[in-house]
Amino acid sequence: MCGFTVFTLQILHSNPRYILFIHLVINDMMWLFLSTLLLIISYALRIFFVPYCIILLIISIIVTHNSPLNLAGMSIECYIAVCMPLRHGQICTVKKTYILIGLIWAASALSILPDLFILLATEPLQFFHSKVRCVRDFVFRNPILAYKRQAVDIIYFSCVFLILVVTYLRILFAARALSTDKTSAQKARNTILLHGAQLAMCMLSYVSPSVEVVLHIIFPSRILEIRFANYLIVYILPRFLSPIIYGVRDKKFREYLRMDFLSNRCRNKVKKVTPEDKDHL
């Protein structure tokens, strides 16, 4: 209950920065659950029903693309807070933040919906009544989709990378011009750098297949260990650490966490008064 109490704090629903942060945390939680489920299916069941596999893969791909787009939104919010502080309250409202989150989900969905339409148009009906290994390449197996996937990934991550670079340079120049609030500018620069580091960690998933092939050639008898280590380091660790880093770095969020974990509501259970207890009162 302690962890979920944090999500009920009013500040997390009234500050665009925290709304985007919590969205990032929830999105990464969904990704971890789905990726773990797909990994268990791949190892335990080997093959899985195609319709259910398609649903799991589509949701997993959408939340995968959500992470870098959410980082871009957080960087823009940070840039507005530092470079346009007087207009920050007008531009970064709660309503516009939720609209941005909706656009993030829509943009991520548009990256996979063409694959679904091509799959429905090209595959025979028997394919959807069969079982396959629940991996994207085995389900969306049209050769055209592989090139389309590479193009979409390059476009998405290039746009996010460009946004991070532009916002960082603008904040860097603004920090040099500011003489009154150097601490805030320094913190904003560090935040942008963390966004860039997390984006780099997200991009590791695109080079990990090639690394896995090389390691398989070097250690042919250790394929299962290589896959598990690759999954743990490339996929699990970055998404587990980044929300913790962002949350702990924020002074206000850290204070709320400390108050929450020290609260008696989280440590003590509510005791019901029994008739025997009433006799002692």
Query: Average pLDDT, whole number, for the chain?
Result: 78
Give CA–CA dist 164/198, Å, rounded.
Answer: 11
Measure the CA–CA gap between 27 and 86, rounded to whole angstroms: 31
The one-letter code for the residue type at 111 is S
Query: What percent of the chain shows pLDDT beyond 70?
Result: 72
What tokens appear for 188 in the block? 């904003």
- Pick one of 3.90.1330.10, 3.40.50.2000, 3.30.1330.10, 1.20.1070.10 as the CATH number of 9-255: 1.20.1070.10
* Domain spans of the chain, in order of start: 9-255
Instruction: Give the number of other CB atoms < 10 A from CB of residue 25.
Output: 19
Question: Band of the pLDDT at 62, cuts 50, 70, 90?
Answer: very high
Residue 170 burial by Cβ neighbours in a 10 Å radius (0-12, 13-18, 19+): middle
Q: Which residues contact 71 (CB under 8 A, 6 or more apart)?
A: 24, 160, 164, 195, 198, 199
Q: Give residue 31's pLDDT.
A: 87
State pLDDT tens for residues 154-205. 888 788 888 888 888 887 777 666 655 566 667 767 777 776 777 777 667 6
Give the single-character DSSP code of 139. H
- As a whole number, mean pLDDT of residues 8-15 equals 66
**How many whole angstroms separate alpha carbon 171 and alpha carbon 186?**
9
pLDDT for 57: 92
Give yes or no for a contact between 52 and 102, defined as CB atoms under 8 angstroms apart.
Answer: no
What's the rounded Cα separation, in Å, for the pair 71 and 245?
14
- Judged by DSSP in three states, 270 sits in coil
Q: What is the pLDDT of residues 124-155, one digit of tens each?
A: 889 998 988 888 888 888 888 888 888 888 88
Q: Is 49 helix (H, G, I), strand (E, B) or coil?
A: strand
Bridge partner list, 131:
49
Residue holding tokens 């603008």?
170
Query: At 48, is the secondary structure helix, strand, or coil?
Result: strand
Q: pLDDT at residue 280 above 50?
A: no
CA 85 to chain centre: 27
pTM > 0.75: yes or no: yes
Is the separation of the CB atoms in 160 and 199 below 8 Å?
yes
